Amino acid sequence: MFRKYYLLFVAAAACLVFFIVLPAMAQQGSQQQGQESKTESEVSDAELEKAAEAYLEVQIIVNEFQQAVQETQDPTARQQLQTAANQRAVLAVENAGLDPETYNNIMEQIGASEELSEKFTEKIEKIQQLQ
């Protein structure tokens, strides 16, 4: 079960780089170079829960985007789909109570820590059971 969610996490993290990090970096430039990312010990349980909520929503967006992209050959339409998916992903993260940078920092920490990854997986499973 852990492996299933870990693979989903890796796929989502890769998509997030595509959807959130790169556009945000292009817009923000080097404004935030001096800020340090959160360490594992700084990721609170509440933040982890918010990240899990956002992750599940972003996964839906990514899946819809991938399906839509496969159905079109027009580069302009694909770019529009990417822009729309990016906006939806950012909104999903913000609706969960996080900003995209914080979300990405948390996801990086999850990828770097097995303990945090297990906690994250538990949060995802708990949310899915409530749905």
pLDDT digit string (tens) for 107-119? 999 999 999 999 9
38 found inside a domain: no
Amino acid 118: pLDDT: 96
Q: pTM for the complete prediction? A: 0.72
Q: By residue range, what is the domain housing residue 89?
A: 2-26+53-130
CA separation for the pair 90, 7 (Å, rounded): 22
Is 96 within a domain?
Answer: yes
Query: Taking the C-alpha atoms of 81, 82, 87 and 88 in order, what is their torsion angle to the nearest 10 degrees?
Result: 60
Name the pLDDT band for 19 (thresholds 50, 70, 90): low
pLDDT in tens, 20-58: 554 554 455 434 443 444 444 589 999 999 999 999 999
| Model pLDDT, residue 42 | 82
Is 16 among the domain residues? yes
Look at residue 43 and tell me if it is in a domain.
no
Q: Quote the number of domains for the chain.
A: 1
Judged by phi (left if over 0) then psi (alpha if -120 to 50, else beta), residue 91 lies in alpha
